[in-house]
Amino acid sequence: MRHFDIAITGAGLAGQIAAIALARAGRHVALVAPSSDRKDRRTTALMDQSIRFMDRLGLWSRIAPAAARLSTMQIIDGTDRLLRAPTVQFRSSEIGLDAFGWNIPNEALLGVLAEAVEQEHNITRLDTSAETIDIGNDRITVTLANGETLSADFLIGADGRKSMVRDAAGIGVKSWSYPQTAVVLNFGHSRPHGNVSTEFHTPTGPFTQVPLPGNRSSLVWVVTPQQAEELTALPLEALSLKVEERMQSMLGAVTVENSVQAWPLSSMTAHRFGKGRVALIGEAAHGFPPIGAQGLNLSLRDIIVLTELLGAVSDRPIAADAGSSFDRKRRADVYSRTLSVDLLNRSLLSDFLPVQMARAAGLHVLSGIGTLRSMVMREGIEPGRGLKALPSLLFGSFKKAG
């Protein structure tokens, strides 16, 4: 039986990044997951904090050629309701950044990660699945589908919403669904995007365009399940016209690429994010609609905390309660992000006038008060950063007023 410091089940984005980070931190890692030929046509927007972490891992220089800068994000009220919110623009230059983050095709990101995993001598890649998991007080034992058995001091579940690790640890989940489906696609356009991402708030949910390199963008269009069926059944030429119309021709003529996918929307949060010798990351721990570029950025913050907890220091053994420490450190961030995404999504769906008034008023305030807008932008890219900066932002505003 081979023994490892850490075993990770699941080799998606979160699983591979966790394996690389912990291996670079000095731990011997087993990465357990069968290979997949499935193409992931989605894109991922990584915010500034995440980019800095990927750079520290030596990965960003390999990813950057496939990424597009996100320098401005704007929200446009695309409803026809009585109380409509003003257009709000968030510019990264307002908080001293060249970009909030970068948008990356998942296929390119996965390719870089797979190559880095293969080259990392502290990672053993096991191209198989876990059959049984036994969680003991002193170690974890995993029996694999190929008949092999391995042991580890710590186990990380990065194995998605139907996580075997989560079940083995006896951790329950709270889950809920929405009457929405996300139509996901990439498209070319005749006008340059200028590194501007535009999110239209519509009665069925967000319609979010995010830049890609060149005159291309990715799109997440949240609609009803019936509308999603209708849109995905359209010929590409007809769908291109629908997208251009919804975008008010802001990017000129649109050409939708042959990679249209539909994803029913739901959310889930584990009752705990770790206990004992187990931790959950990515969609094994939390999942919510593709709103506000929170998904993988939240998972990377999981990994940053795990690296701090589990990284080798003079061959320090992994504490038996490391998973419980991880749970305590991650609760506030995960719960606050899940709640904010859920509230924003429900506010778009609500026909209740006070909810519409509150949403419109909030965007009015953000549009008119630069100090508050700066705080929101800082908090959006790194939790706690906006609150830390608030005193200096307020002081600067008072000095200008005086």
Quick one: pLDDT band at residue 353, thresholds 50, 70, 90? very low
pLDDT mean over 205-226:
93
Is the pLDDT score of 104 beyond 90?
A: yes
> 101 and 46 in contact (C-beta within 8 Å)?
yes
Q: Provide mean pLDDT across the span 56-65.
A: 96
Query: pLDDT above 90 covers what percent of the chain?
Result: 63
Confidence band of 347 (pLDDT split at 50, 70, 90): low
- State the pTM of this model: 0.84
Tell me the mean pLDDT in the region 122-140: 96
- Overall average pLDDT of the 212-234 stretch: 95
More reliable by pLDDT, 139 or 392: 139
Q: What is the pLDDT of residue 79?
A: 65
Between 184 and 86, name the one with better pLDDT: 184
What average pLDDT does this structure show over 342-347? Answer: 67
- pLDDT of 273 reads 98
- What's the whole-number average pLDDT of the chain? 85
Residue 202: is its pLDDT beyond 90? no
In tens, the pLDDT along 247-261 reads 999 999 999 999 899
Q: What is the pLDDT, as a whole number, of residue 154?
A: 98
pLDDT above 90: residue 114: yes
Mean of pLDDT values over 349-367: 45
Domain architecture of the chain: domains with CATH: 2-60+105-174+267-344 (3.50.50.60), 69-104+179-265 (3.30.9.10), 352-401 (no CATH)
